[in-house]
Chains A and B, each alone.
Chain A
Amino acid sequence: MNATASVPGQHGATAGGPQVGRALPRTEDVRFLTGRATFVDDLKRPGQLHAVVVRSPHAHARILGIDATRALALPGVVAVYTWGDIASIAQPIPIRLAPLEGFERYLQYPLAKDRVRHVGEPVALVVADDRYVAEDALDLVDVEYDTEPPVTDVHQAEADGTLVHPDAGSNIAARYTVSRGDPDGGFSRAPYRRRETFRCHRQAALPMETRGLLAEFDAMQRVLRIWGAAKVTFFNRRWLAKVFSMEESAVELLELDVGGSFGVRGELYPEDFLVPFAALSLGRPVKWIEDRREHLLATNHSREIECTLEIACEADGRFIGLRGRVLGDLGAYVRTNGGVVPAKAAQFMPGPYRMPDCEFEVLALMTNKTPVGTYRGPGRYEANFFRERLIDLAAADLGMDPAQIRRINLIGPDEMPFPSGQLCPYEPAIEFDTGDYPMAFERALAETGYGEMLKAGNVAADGRLLGVGLACFVESSGAGPSETGRIKARPDGGIDLFTACSASGQGHETVMAQIVADVLERPVEAFTLHHGSTTLVEFGYGTYHSRAVVVGGSALHRAGEKLLAQGRAWCAQHHGIEPSMIDYRAGRFLRRADPPAAGGEPAPLHPGTFAEIAALADAGDTSAAAAIEAVAVFEVKKRTYTYGTHVAQVAVDPETAEVELLRFLAIEDIGRAVNPLLVHGQAIGAAVQGIGATFLDELVYDDSGQLVTGTLADYLVATATGFPNIEVITLEAHPSKLNPLGVKGAGEGGIVATGAALGNAVAAALAGLGVKITDLPLSPERLARAMREARTRAGAN
């Protein structure tokens, strides 16, 4: 989406001073709030057709035959595509991240060939004149299935009795062990050990806007355009170009306004092939808009992990190590995100603590459920819950306060950068870059009045049970390998910024302008960020892992510095001055007084602004033309690590098991906040998403592999009134040294420890009843059952 910066004047740079650090409202808000945003379904192309996907109603079945005769006979139906139509060119959906050995056996083709492996798997594509006809035609595509028993959980998968992919010979898609220190030695000498099995439930990221695509082949320019792209446009373009045997430059992925991603939107899904395939085949624009039920079935799921975890401690509570087994339910296919979810759970299992001796066995398992991909804090939400819950159980065993056991184990500032070892098989060893973990922790305790909350006791005046939960985390962001930024000045005084980082609501148009505004000393209104097209820069890796500002912002920062140097050099040349004698102030080059001691004011140069130089460029001055445009690539090898603490206080109704969140604080050090207002919004949003996920969200499958939560009446999510008591504090205590801005990612720290803190709070509230919390979600139904069982046990004793 291209948009002109239009931040209201009172917020503008006329105020002077640095723009980075200012709480500017989003430039984007104007069009969102006035109904002028353009989402993919808002876009209409002349003669466009509408596609709907025929999806498997079965979790596991062989396809005996597909007969589209009746569908094709329906007036308005233009085409029905099945495997046979795409077989000659179709390639399996590629793995973009976390390509664990063995995964190549579990890839998915855009349409099912002879077997369906989850409810919702695409079997055919119906294209019709309008959506109504297309939907009606769904009923007329006759697919004959022979059902087979499904695999619906990780234990059934690991047993390999029924195979999701018979040809692969096993449901264990990957299995590996990672370690650091001396786990065998550490555990054998440990005076205290405790082992528990924890489970994290399957969740949906659930962006407000479902997925959608509109593809059109421009016969005149011979370009395939695909609107509705997001996240990793260049990667998807490369694959699509290859599959369609087109030049990469002949495929354009175009981003429109996006109603949220949280990791699931913009990956390469079957529809990303099918919709352009139909457009190319038919020579007409084809639109597909996912409906909500389809979204819950077909868009990546995430989080489902079972983990058996054991902790070893000294008698005084100092951690010796962690070891365990991570069983990741990857669903029916390995798709673009590979093994990220279980792999990251293992990598982040030790958390922000000194935990010398660790060993984790990771199994990525196939089941007859929707494929799993990344979702805001992939693996971290889960790992933090497992570890922080176990720490509280250990603290109780050792008679320690949960705060004290964390306090004595958190990595100290003098230990930075802290080597965390190679706990992920497809990545090198990592190190936590900067931070003062105990400081953030103590601040969280002070802000929430931790001691006071504990003094309130376990029973409130109204009889509800009170509990406080703590959880600490470390969170990675800013993955490489690189990002490209391009800047070009215009004669009208505006400056165009180009990035490959797609946006899905984060406010890139605002923050990127703030970053470059400081470099070029121009008001933020002067900048227009162009993003969302593969035509704007040479290449880019996209928006995920909270990397857009860290890597993309740094690339633009660098391009800004390069532009400044070019402008200075051009002025030196043009005016015949030594470059060292040229100053730059508020957007204009000046000639320094010579000698400076004389006290004369620097003299403005004419031409001496980028607008003036751009005007000369427009008039044909080639040296000016070269001066007004700069491209820079920012490469990173190491990642930035944010850290922080979540604190929760809950009241649990002993009769109904309803949990009220009395207090919730998320504190995170992100190094530097380019725009504190947007950071704040991200942190609040992440917290609400995680809190909702902990209490409400759950994708439920029955024994036959049917998803039984296919509507928003069944799949519950947090709404505006659900969790009002949320506080977030953003620290800028320890900027990263890995980029010129000092920034770290800001999008995920708010969510990653929510399950952990809430789990600990509810566990503390119910400890007196003998309820042990090891599984998420903390739904009233589950809690009520646990409470009932605990009371029965107590009665029996």
Chain B
Amino acid sequence: MNRFFDIPSDLQHSWLGLIGLHLREALLPVLAGLVAALPLAQLCVRFRWLYPPMLSLTTVLYAIPSLAFFVVLIDYTGQTELTVMIPLAVYSLVVLVPAIVDGVRSVPPETLAAATAMGFGPVRRYVQVQLPIAVPAIIAGLRVATVSSISLVSVGMLIGNQGALGNLLHDANIYHRPELAVNSVVTTAVLAVLADGALVLLRLLLTPWMSRGTRRRKPKAVQARPDAAVPALEDAAR
């Protein structure tokens, strides 16, 4: 068990240090993706014709393997953390845009009409009515983006040891210490599960108005437009 947490010195971090690094490399891109996705999604809701091409673009971007994405960036940003974080931010963005669009669109038209009738302006209506009702869908997207991001950071090991917990894999390989690989896999998976759980908790806190029954149901949009939602919900790790 001692050897399990005995991190080789070439990694220049303790186990907890690697976890901190890993979380930073994984979560900052998700945050950046969310910040960029909100206005983009709003554009797609506003201009309906924009959504189908946007969907095709997100599907294509999401298909590009992470390693290919990383190495192409090396020419611009070098073998740095940023090179890992930019693709992760893009992946988060392309998961979140459809999730937010579907969420905002799932707001019943009569609710919107009622809000307008009560004198809500467009901005106020978006922030106080549409966005809160879209929270479950947005969080569903965030869960996929976060878990996927945490898993993908490890691949950063291949471009100059930028993989945080993933760097343990390299050492496990060259020093023949399988327990380091187990450590990496288990720690990463636990981080992913914990982050996922935290987001579920967040949703419960943000949506006290949802009944237990509807909480478990997927938004209707998922069933109506399977092609849009499924890649976003299913290709988590790559």
Do A and B interact with each other, yes or no? no
Residues on B lying within 8 angstroms of A by beta carbon are none
